[in-house]
Every structure is written in structure tokens, then in C-alpha cells.
Structure 1
Amino acid sequence: MTSHQATTKQFSSAPATGSDFANPATSSHDLCRRLLDIEHDFFASLERAKHYALQQHSETRARSFYQISDFDFFIFRPEGFVASLLVQIESYDYGCLSPLQIDDSAVAKWVLTQYAPQGLLLGSLLQNFCSPANAHEKIAGIIHGIHATQVGMGDLEQNHALLFRQMVESIGVQLPQISSEQFSRHLDLLPSSSNLSAYRLSLSLFAQEFDAEILGALLFEVANGLSSIVRATQAPITASGGSSRFFKLQAAQQHALIAQASLAIETYLHEAGMTSPFINRADISIAYSRILDGFMTSARLHLQWTSELGTLIAQGYLDPLNEMVRLVRRKGPYAVGYHPRLSLAQKPFDEAIVGDALTFVEELAKTRWITPGDPDNSLLLSKLIAFGGPMFRIFSDAEVAIIRNWISALPAINAAKAARPASALDGDTPSVPLLPERPWVSRRPGGHVVRKRREPVPARTLYFKLLNSERYPDARNDAGEFAATWLARSAVGLQRDEQAIAFTDYSHQQLRSWFEERARQQSSTYVGPEQVIEKTREEVIAEAIQLCPMILVDGAWLQKWGNAGLVDTRLGTLLFKIFSDELGNGDPQLNHPNIYRQLMAQMEVDLPEFRSREFSQWHGFTDEAFEVPAFWLALSQFPRRYLPETLGLNLAMELSGVGGGYRTAHDELRHYGFSTLFVDLHNTIDNASTGHSALALEAIEQYMDEVLQSGDSARIAERWQRIWTGFRALSPRPKYWRERFKRLTYPY
């Protein structure tokens, strides 16, 4: 074997090496896909994610990627610790390729394709860090602000992942949905390309357990920004007329994101008491080393990836011959059985095409089907894969381009070639089947697993467990049953009771007309500031107390809509904007639950710590006070499965109180000298013109647009009924008499 053949063999096969990549069940991209569709197989995916994160941390330490002794934590102030990490960033970037060295658009496209698992999942690391359980805290607010910036601050055109997609599409790279099998099957991804994204997604599912590691990983992500090998693609992208908005936004926001990530770490260490002179060295070492685990593991995975890309490019991985060899390796198995009378280099064709791919390509170049240096006159392109040929549409446009480049690069052959006897390929015209689509495992809508029914968990208990879901992962089963039962009750009487469906034949015009009339009716219920306040001071306080469990998880029904795969859609952007507003957009002073806490303090109500069991069992709350918020928290666990119901509930919640109820509450609070800020805020921010009510309406219209386009009247009616069921679900429904004998079921 020549040295050229050895190099070609090495790099034409590089992406397929390694057991992790060869086995889809264990590959990092498969893990990404599972975690993006976590509703399908939640518990198995959760277990895989935790194992992956712990495995990566162990490997970082085992490889001596850093030594704890390198950092004297005992003398470090948080600010100095962060600064020491930032200084090291450049050493973890593979900088051998300057922008001038990536002057080929094909190379740029390949690099960006390899970056796609990261680019399409920007922000995923932080997607679960800030939740209704901790959004009132300073550090959660900081993290939410960073995450909101990454996903566009409620503006889809500023979403980093979407801008990346737009950029690569502007240069002709079409990316499937990253959660699909098609993504990895067609993009020739290197094994290392998904490692960092799999790590970030895995950490995100354990925002409490891995909080310090997430902060370390975050600092690396924002400080490293786009690696030099990715930045090097900007020049050829610009030269080819592609969009560079992604690069510009990343550069414009990087300094602010670094400052916020640094502040988050400093806040974490201060709040953990790591600056106290009384804390012992062991505790300090644990706190700092966990942050280092996240930072250094990210650095290791990033360095592994950029080094591999740089090495492959430098050593000819993208040369036409290597690309052609990889194409044959991918397509060959699908060609077996369609060439029984053909041979190549004295071997049966079906055997040759799944044998040594390099040998196959070299022998193919000698046949009459190839004219070296002249793809237009090569029969493989002009006859076999042309319209009417036996291989028409066997190859995609990108694959045809690979074949053309390979033929163009073949060395010229002397005229004696024409006189040589025809190759064995001169037999019957080959026929190759189209690539079959890989079947997807069918499952019930929403992908939920049917389990044996258990006794329902009390709302108080479920509320507490879902606020501490990492400690009680099995609460997800209880949440599914609680939500399904609640929705089943809400669906009873859908067509006939006092809150019956407003209209049966859905149209945007009917929905908007109903919405506007409902808003007018609510406004008309307000008597005016001259009304006599009949409630006593004690009654006003008592009512306010019972609202605490609900208001302290304000927006909880939308908490998963900041997640990758949801927030990077137009519908998801609307829902995330509402959720972010409820949390104060990262500012604890604007956080709606915190504003209500101030009202409780003014009323001299001393509540137990919010996430504690004491809070959920506090004698000052009735059982009924937990029913609606427990439903919110339960429903939020299934954003895809219960999307129509979530949209209906969202409209009901945002519209409730606007115009009438909030103004009446304002007068009652003011009458007894209490702050009216909470109700005033909601009366304005939820307004029916441009506020949350209007956004909730728009979200339904966007969702139903796609349903209407199907033209399926049964489907349209079903989705509209599900939306209205969600609208009705804001009001608790009584337990029906038939439930004594058989539980209600919800069919979705």
C-alpha cells in the first residue's frame, strides 16, 4: 500500500471509527436526539444524560486535563478565580487555521456542518436553570438573562440558533431538524461534533445537582465564543454572498455575556459562603473544583473537536478522492442485490461496492463510465443518473457535486485509454435502489408510556415534588396522571355547560371576535373607584394568602418553552416572551412572584421557605389553594403532548382579570393601604391590545394556521376542542360521580 493510499484510507473512514459513533444507541448525537425529544422516553433518557455528564467529568480528571493543585482555592477570591479561567481561554482554541487558509467555500460548508450540533443548540445549556422554583433568586435571574439573550429575548430574528441556520442556508447548506435521525444520517458528522452539545444538554437536565458545573461550562461557552476554526469560515461566507448576521451578533453580545457569566459565578460563590473566613479548605475545594469540572470538560471536548477538524483539513480529508470514497461507503450497502450480472476488477459488483471503498473508487475511475477530468462527458453523470437513466435521483445534488469534483480531479489519461478493451462494467446497465427512509418507531400521541393507574397524589404533595423535581423524578408519572385527570374533567360538558365551547367551526375571525367581546365584557364588570368596599381588611388578606401557591409559580405552565426545539420556533418565541416577562426578564425586582412577596410582607404574613415541604403543608393554606398551581406545574412537563391545551390555558390565564378583576382588586388593596403594584402590573402587561392576552391569542392563531392548512375538518375540530378544554382548565372542575367506579380518561 502506498503512503497516499494509507492517508486516503485513514481520512476517508475517519467519521465512522469508534464504537460510540458506530453504535447509534451510544453515540453523542443519538443522545442529543433523545434529550431533545425527552417526552418520548423520559426516564431512560434522564439516566443516559446523567451517566454521560458524570462520565465526561471523570474522563477530564483521568486525562489530567487540569490539576486541582493548579488552583489555590483557599487564597482565591471569586473575582480572581474567574479571571484566572478567562486567561486560559485562548490555550483551548485550535488556532492553526487563519481565515486566509479557509478560502474554499466547500471547506467552510463542511466546518459549519460539523459545528451544526452546537450552532443549532445555542442556549440549551441554560434551558432549565431558571424555573418557577428559583426565578425569584438573584443567580437564577442572571442566568435567565443570559439564556434569554441567546434565544432572542422574545424576538425570533435575534435567536442565535435560528441565525446560524439562516447563515448556513444562505450558502446552500440545508439542515434537517437536529432532533431527527435524518440529521446525523445525511450530514456525515464526525463523532466529536456532537460531544459538547450532548454534554450541555445532559447538564441542563440537572440544573440543581450540576449548578456549579453549568456555571463553569457557561463561562467557557461565552468566553470562547466561536472558535477560530468557525470564525475562519466568515471570509468565504461573505465572499459567496452569504449572511454574516450570526457572526456580527455573536461578536456584539460576547463582552456582555462574559460579564454576566462571571457575575453568576461570583454570586454563586459568595452566596455559598465561599468567601467566609470560617469556611474550611475542603468545602472551598469542592465548590471551586465543580465549577472547574464544567469549564475544563467543555474545554476538553471543544479542543478534541477543533483539533480533529484542523488535522483532517490539513491532511486532505476534504480532498475529492476522500469525499468520493466516503460517498461509496455510505451508499454501497443500498446497492447490493441490484447488479447480479456486473463485475468490477474481476469481482462481482455487489461484493466490490461493499468491500474496500478506495479500491472500488480507483477501479471505477478506469471504466468507460468515467472520463477523467471531464464530468460532463462521463457516462455516469450524463447517462446513468440523468433523467431516464437507471440511477435517476439515486444521488442528491450534494452527492452529485462530490462525484463531479472527483471526476474533475482525476489525472488526465492518454489516448491509449480509448483503445483498451472495455471494462467489466460494460455489461448490463447498473440499477441502484433509492435510499430507503429509516422507519420511525410509532407511538401514542405525545409519546407517553401507559402505566398502571395509581392513587392520585394530593395537590399539595405534587406541588412540592414538582418544585423539587430533580429530587423526585418519579413525580413525573404523578404529574402525567394529574394533568390527564384534570383535563378529562375539563372536557366534560364541553358542548353544553356554562363555559361551553364558544363556537364549533374554528376560524381566526370567529376567535378574534370572541376575544374582543370577552375583553369588553370583563372591562364592563368594573363598577368604578366609587364602589363601596364590602370586604374587611382581614378578608382581603385572607384571599391574598390563598393566592400565594399560585402566584409564586406565575407562568409555570410555560416553563419548558425556553427549551431547544421549542423556543426556536415562532410559536415558541411568543410563549417564551410571556414566560420571561412573568419572571421579570432576569431582574428579581421585576419578578412577579417577588412583587407579591413584598405584598405579603406588607400584610405581615410570614411564609415558610417556598420550596420546602413546610410551605406546601402550611396550615394557612387550604387544600384548594394548591389545585390550580399543581395543574400548571404538571401540564408544563409535557409541552409537546399538551400543546393545544397549553395554548388554551395560556389564553384563559392571561385574559383573566384584565379590565375588571384587577381593577377591583386595586381598589380593595388601596382602600386598606396595601401596595397595588402586582395587580396594576398585570392589568397593563396582560392587556388585550399588545400585552400577554394579545400574544396568547396570536399563539393560538399561529398554531391553528398549520392545522387549517391540512384541510382536514376532523383534525381542525379536534385541535380547537383541545384548545378550549385547556381554556376551561383554569377553573377547577368537581369530581364527577362516575369517578367512584372508573377514572376519567383523556384520550390525548
Structure 2
Amino acid sequence: MSTRSTVPPRDLTTSLPTGPVRAGRAAADEAAAVVAGAPADLFRRLLADQESEAALLTARQVLHGFLEETHAGDAAPTGADAEARPTSADAAPTGADAEAIAAYVLAARARIAPAVAALTRAEAGPEVRDAVLRQRAPLALLGACWLDTVSQAATQPAVIVNELFGHHFALTGEGTWDKGATARHRRALAEQGVHLPDVAAASFLDDAAARPLTALHGAFRLALSRLPASFLPEVVGVHYAVHALGVDDLLIGTEPVLPEEAVRELLASYLRLAADSPTGAEDVRRLLAAVRLVVRLEEEHTALLTELAAWHSGLSLDARVAAIVAKHAPLAGRQHRAVRLGDRRLSEWLDDEEMDLAAFMAEFRASRQMRASRDGGCRFLKAIKFGGPMFGIFDEREAATFTAWAEAIAAGEPADPHFPPNTAGDEAACRWARALGRARCADEVAEEGELIAEGAALGHRELLHRLVNHERFPGILPVARAHAEDRLADAELLFTHGAGGRLTDASWFDYTPDALMARVERIYWDKLVNPYRPLTEIPDRDEVIFGQSTFALGSLIDGTWAYRIGNVGRRHRPGDGMLFSIYADEMGRGDIAKNHITLINQVLASMDILLPHIRDEEFLDQRDLPDELYGFSLHQLSLALFPDSLYEEILGYNLGIEMFGLGEMRLHEIQKLRRHGLDIAYEEAHLSIDNFSAGHARQSADIIVAHLDAVRRDGGEDAVQRAWRRVWRGYASFAYFVEHALVKQALKDEAARPAAPARDAEVSERAPGDSVELVL
């Protein structure tokens, strides 16, 4: 019988359902405090924390602050916010016309380009150019971070999300980070003498000398990266406008990975979708607001860079030295207790948070350290040269500035006591800080205990709904964490009993790379491939459809376990690029026809099963998928929300699920589906892409070995064994949901065992598989 393929309706989503955001009071208070704090701390928190309720609420407040200010800007500002602000010379478009939007943005680019060109000219001077490039680096090196998690269970397989993910895949070098746009920008900066640590480094903003406005602009981009499903129209608007303006490529001198024509095509695609959407008018309004906001922000940041360049150019030699002193003073004081400057110890000067810089410079200029010696040098210059006690503290350019200053002093040039403060961008930063402070991070708040109790009492359907829509339900994160930890703990049962699995073997073994590969190969041959025999009897159609329905819920969130791996600031672990590439393959690399969520919907449609989207309220009432199998998907969704603290567990889970696509089970399903003329595309895709030769199954084992090799280099063998236990409990947690009969029998066996003596309590610290009882 020929295989019947029924194509399900395309997902034409242009925005996700909205609803009130209810959050914990403590988390809301924490978010408000972060937003009210220093812009640099806000930037760092949004970059570093992708696992907490407070971080999601912080992101929401930041986005509301920027966007509400943009909407308010449509009316005449009043009061303190009536200050001058960058305005476009061209009227912003008001309709869903891609060409009109492009004309507006490209007109802004034409205004910005000459100002950027002036900053890159040779006559600007190397110090000015260095300062400008450093100042722009926090934005350039965030890349298109708003695309990091735009592809997720709540958004796939929407047409526009697949197009966005295709762009994301290209911008990130197709999983090879060094080929991506951000890496290109970093290399170009390095070629021009600007060397900065990773964006996640604690010193990154300090080394970039980031102004408050730069940190706030970066915080907006990072906030959008945390809530892309909730702000999908804004993601499209920001994506088009940032790439069409191309400020980073103009300034740094790189070629764009995505030309304007490519992002305009995506913009036009979105507008066509919106034209047929019931929420289309509102979605277009939101997109246009985002475009206007980006134009304003990029004009604003170009003005900051211009102001910064003018400040640097206007500095006297004394003022340039003063700026260097101010930069190093916080870390220098305690190293100079024996040195005196005027009537004070140098350490007293430098430890003073309110140091009078003018008074210090006057004393420093007149000090014996700067007095010319017979050989034409001075004590200070000798101290900072090779062999001196201060060698390596100042970079080459700073040392050259000190040398020129010493020569000027020796030549008798008078001091310039004027040290103008650097206030570049501060007026705009104050406006944004006020706007963010006025915004709200949640519609209603409750006590944490109430939210946790409420979450713990949820049925599986409602819990799944909130986990999929976690951006709208930030209070579900503590519940998800507890759920993941409980399932991982449960799964350790298989460390002792796992050898009897039909498709897996989660029994404990001591890790070495060879031992892992040997175990994986045994599972592949002994449990997945060699047992295969073609079915001699095929179940009837209804039974086959029911069997497929038991897998379908997990398939509808295919790849979710890895969707948050490789976000900006997290591309340093050896396996991140490979794991991101695995996720990209699951999503068809942006090709919606190859997207595995599309394929499973296609299979279900061939069975006349048309489900509401898993994110929608209507899915709570679906009757085609059985209730008792929600646990597998709940565990996967919970794991996915903790890509940092449960990273090793995700690696192990990934190995389990990628091997599951091989061998007997898939081949039997293909045989049954084909017999009844049902679609086999999903099964065939996994049988091919997960192959053990070079596909996902092999890659998953390689990722674990690479990760543990890195752990060994950083922390030694003990650290490897701790990490390995976590990896293997991740694998066991997959097996726990696959091996129903084995788990049932193991629980019976454990219940029948006599209680372990109290003296064996220390067993929980020992490696499972030892001859002693395992405490479960």
C-alpha cells in the first residue's frame, strides 16, 4: 500500500497569546532592584542568569521600559523627559509595507553612516579610534542575541520562526562559532588592536570602558533574548532594523553575513503573514514600534560615540594621564604603602573613592618620581619598564602617554589643570533609567510559597502548558527545578537495575572515554540493531495509531532539551557548538519542510489527528494523546530550563534520546506505518540523522568525551568523576521513561529489600555499582 501523506495546515503565527504575568513577590522585588541599580550590573545579570524567575522578570521590566517609552514618544513628551533626543528626519512608517519600512530605516542609515565614517578616519587618531571601538564592542559582541531562543516549543514550527532560525544558524557559523558574525567582529577588533575578554567575563564592561548608555542598550538586546516568544513582533522588527542599519559592520569594517535584502525579505514575509492574522494589526503596530526604537537607539549610540571621540580628542596630555590614573586607581592603592605623594601615602590617595584627581595630578607632576634624571628618564618610567616593579600594569599605549607626559614635564611645559569629566551618553542614559524604573515586571505578585504550592498541585496538562509558556509563567521555574531534580534522583534506580533494559542500559560503570564508547556500542548492537527482525504480523490500523499517539507528545517538543545551549556568553564549552548543531538539525536548520515538528504533525495528519498547538489553551482539552505519558515531556521541558546548572544531565539525556532513534524500534514503526499507508517521514528522518557512524548518536558520545576532557584539564580526575555521575544520571533519566517494565520491576525489588543499616548512610557518597547498597 502506498504511504499516505497529508500536509497539516502551516503554522502562520505572528505573535503568541498574551495573558497576565503572575510572579513571586521576592523575585519581583529582586528584579526591580536590579533594574534600579547600575546599568553595568543590569547588563551582567541578564547575560549571566538564564535560569531564575527574577532574571525573566528583569528582562520583562527592561523591555516594557524601552517599548513603553517608545510608544509614549509618539506623543509630545513633558517634564523631565522633554529633553532633546535623537529624532528621525523622516516620518516613521505606519503601515504594513516592507518597502516603506526599508526606506525609513535606510534613510536613517544614510544619516548615521557619515558620523560613523568620521569616527573611522585616520585623523581621528589611534587613541580615539580605540576608545570608540571598545565602546561599541558590548553591542557588537552580543551579536543577534535576540534570536538565541526564538526557536522553542512555544514557537515551533511557525513559518516566521523557521525563517528567523535560518538566519540565526547562518549568523552563528552553522554551529562553528569561529565562523559566525560575532567571531568575525571579534577578529576585526583584534586586528585593530582592541583585545577584550569574553562578554561573560566579569571584567568585560570595565575593559571596554562601557558608558551607562552602552550597558542599557545592551540590556535591551539581552532582555529580548530572554523573552523572544512573548515579543515575537519586536524580534522581527529589531532583527530587520539592526541588520539594515549595519552600524557594527560600518564601524568595524566587516562585511555583513546577512545583507539588507535578506532581512528585508524576512520582514516582508512576516508582514504577509500578519495581513491574514487575527492579531495582525496589533502585531504590525508592535513591529513598527520596535523598528522606531532601534533607529532611535542606533542614532543615540552613534551620538554617544561621536561625543566620546570629541571628549578624547579634547583631552590635554595631563587629562589623558589623569584618565589612566582614574582607571587603575581602584586596584592600585594597597600596592604602594611605602610610597608618599605630597603629605599623604600613595595608598591613601588611591584608596579614596572620592579622590581629588586635580590635587593628585598636581602632586604627582611635582613628585620626585617624575623628576628628570641625568639620563633623561625618571623613576616612574623606569618602574613601568621591563624589570621594574610596575611592569605590565599599563598597556603599550598607556605607557607611551606616560612617556610623553614625562618629556613634557622635563621640557618645562605648564600643567593643564582642567580634567573634563566623561559624560558621553549620560543624558540619554538617565532618560532610559527613568523609563525602566516606571515599568512593571509583573501584572500581579504572590508569595513564593503560594506559587510553589500552586505549581506542585498542578495536573500534568496544566504543568505542561506552563512549562511550554514559561515566559508568561515565570513562577513555574522553581517547580520545574524541583521536578527535574526529582526525576533525576528517581532515575538513579537504574544505576543498579539498568542492564535489563530492552532499549537502554543505564547501569553504572566507571568512566573512561573507552568505557563510554564500549557501552554505547554494546547498546547499539545488542539492544538496537541485532535484535531486529521484520514483523511477521502487523497490528491493525487503530493499534498502530494508538502506539504512535504514545510517542507524539514527546515528538511535538523534539529538540527542546538543547534549545538553550549555546546562547551568547555560553559558547566556550567544547560541546556547545555540536549540541547546538544537533538542535539545528532537529529544527531543519530553518527549512520548515525538514523541521521535525513539521514532520510529526505531518504524520499525525495522515492519521486524521489535527491537534491545537501545544502552547495553546485548547491543547489542555485535547483527547487524542493519552494522559499517562506526559511525564516524559515534562521532564524534558524542565531540564531545558536549566542549561547551566543541569548542563551535564542534559548531555547524558541527549545521548539517550539520540540513540533511541536507531534500530529495531524505528524499523518496526516504519513497517507498521507503511503497511497502513501512514506517513513515515518522522521515523525515516531519525533513522537517518541519528546514525551511529557520524550522526547524532555518535556526536552525542563525542560531546560527552570532549566535555569531560575539559573538566579533567580544569579540575582533575575527581572533578571528572563528579561530572560523570551527573552525565550518567541524565542518560538514566531518559531510560527511566522508556523502560516501563524494567522500572516497575526494579521498584518492586527495591521495596522488597530490607532497609540498609544506619552505619551504611555514607553509601550515598560512594560510586554506584560498588558492592554496598545504593541509597535511593
- Relative to the length of structure 2, the TM-score reads 0.76
Question: Percent sequence identity over matched residues?
Answer: 23
Q: Secondary structure at the match of 1:322?
A: helix
Unaligned runs of 5+ in 1: 1-22, 235-246, 276-283, 418-448
Partner of 2:325 in structure 1? 328
Confirm or deny that 1:91 pairs with 2:116.
no
State the secondary structure of the residue aligned to 1:377: coil
1:717 to partner: Cα distance:
1.6
Per the alignment, residue 176 of structure 2 pairs with 155
Identify which of 217, 227, 239 aligns with 1:218.
Answer: 239
1:159-238 aligned within 5 A: 159-170=180-191, 172-227=193-248, 231-234=250-253
Q: Which has the higher contact order (CA 8 A, sep 6+)?
A: 2
Aligned-partner residue type, residue 694 of structure 1: R
Counterparts of residues 459-474 of structure 1 (less than 5 Å): 459-474=460-475
The aligned residue for residue 393 of structure 2 is 396
- Cα deviation per residue 1:70-115 (whole Å; 9 max; x = unaligned)? 45636x5454344443343322453351643367444443332212
Moved more, 359-368 or 555-564: 359-368
- Mean CA deviation greater in 689-698 or 491-500: 491-500
- Kept in 2: contact 1:546–1:621 (CA 8 A): yes
1:51 Cα deviation from its structure 2 partner: 2.0
Kindly indicate whether the alpha-carbon contact (under 8 Å) linking 1:373 and 1:412 is maintained by their aligned counterparts in 2.
no
1:727 corresponds to: 731
Q: Give the C-alpha shift of residue 702 in structure 1.
A: 1.4
Residue number in structure 1 paired with 2:591: 587
Partner of 2:369: 369
Partner Cα separation in structure 1 for residue 375 and residue 404 of structure 2: 6
What whole-Å deviation, never above 9, does each CA across 1:290-310 have from its counterpart, x for those lacking one?
223212222222222222222
Residue 548 (1) aligns with residue 552 (2)? yes
Over 3 Å counting, the alpha-carbon distance change for 1:78 and 1:413 in structure 2 is closer
Q: Equivalents in 2 of 1:194, 1:375: separation in Å? A: 46
Q: Deviations over 1:380-419 (max 9, x none)?
A: 1314776474xx46x6242x641432332455456899xx
Q: How many residues align?
A: 658
Corresponding letter in the other structure for 1:54:
H
CA offsets, 1:667-716, max 9 Å, x none? 11111112222111110111111211122112111111112224633322
Q: Which deviates more from structure 2 when the two are superposed, residues 321-330 or residues 467-476? A: 321-330
Match of 2:43 in 1: 32
Q: Does the 8 Å contact 1:207/1:214 carry over to 2?
A: yes
Amino acid of the structure 2 residue aligned with 1:648 = G
Counterpart for residue 490 of structure 1: 491
Q: 1:439 — aligned with what? A: none
**8 A contact 2:108–2:295 mirrored in 1:** no
Greater shift, 564-573 or 702-711, is seen at: 564-573
Rounded Cα–Cα distance in structure 1 between residues aligned with 2:719 and 2:35: 35
The one-letter amino acid of 1:304's match is: E
Q: Is the 8 A contact 1:115 1:193 kept in 2?
A: yes
Matches of 1:189 and 1:376, distance apart in 2: 37
Cα deviations across residues 506-526 of structure 1 (Å, max 9, x unaligned)? 221222222233222345345
CA–CA separation in structure 1 for the residues paired with 2:298 and 2:690: 43
- Using the TM superposition, give the Cα deviation of residue 165 of structure 1 relative to its aligned residue in structure 2, in angstroms: 2.9
Asked if the contact 2:384/2:393 (under 8 Å) is kept, the reply is no
Q: Which residue of 2 aligns with 1:524?
A: 529
1:381 maps to a residue whose letter is: L
Take 1:328 and 1:203, find their aligned partners in 2: how far apart are those partners? 37
Q: Is the Cα–Cα contact under 8 Å of residues 372 and 412 in structure 1 kept in the other structure?
A: no
Mapped contact 1:465–1:475 kept (Cα < 8 A) = yes
Select 1:297's aligned residue among 265, 288, 293.
293
- Partner SS state of residue 153, structure 1: helix
Q: 1:139 Cα deviation (Å)?
A: 1.0
Distance 2:375 2:518 in 1: 62
> Which residue of structure 2 lines up, in the alignment, with residue 53 of structure 1?
63
Residue 17 of structure 2 is matched in structure 1 by none
Range moving further from structure 2, 56-65 or 716-725: 56-65
Structure 2 residue 561 is matched with structure 1 residue 565:
no
Cα separation, 2, equivalents of 1:376 and 1:462 = 76
- Hey, what does 1:18 align to over in structure 2? none
Structure 2 vs 1, CA of residues 605 and 711 (structure 1 numbering), >3 Å: closer, same or farther?
closer
User: Residue 510 of structure 1: which of 494, 510, 515 is its match?
Assistant: 515
| Further displaced range: 176-185 or 637-646 | 176-185
Q: 1-side partners of 2:194 and 2:324: how far apart?
A: 17
Aligned to 1:80: 100
Distance 1:87 1:406 in 2: 44
Deviations 1:338-376 (A, max 9, x none): 767865456665665543324423442333322679998
Are the aligned partners of 2:494 and 2:732 in contact in 1 as well (CA < 8 Å)? Answer: no
Q: 1:376 to 1:642 in 2, by over 3 A?
A: farther
Q: 1:657 to 1:206 in 2, by over 3 A?
A: closer
The separation in 2 between residues aligned to 1:159 and 1:641, in whole angstroms, is 26
Which position in structure 1 is the counterpart of 2:54?
Answer: 44
Contact 1:109 1:168 in 2 (8 A): no
Q: Aligned partners of 1:379 and 1:256: how far apart in 2?
A: 59
Unaligned runs of 5+ in 2: 1-33, 414-446, 738-742, 756-763, 766-774
Q: 1:596 to 1:497 in 2, by over 3 A?
A: closer
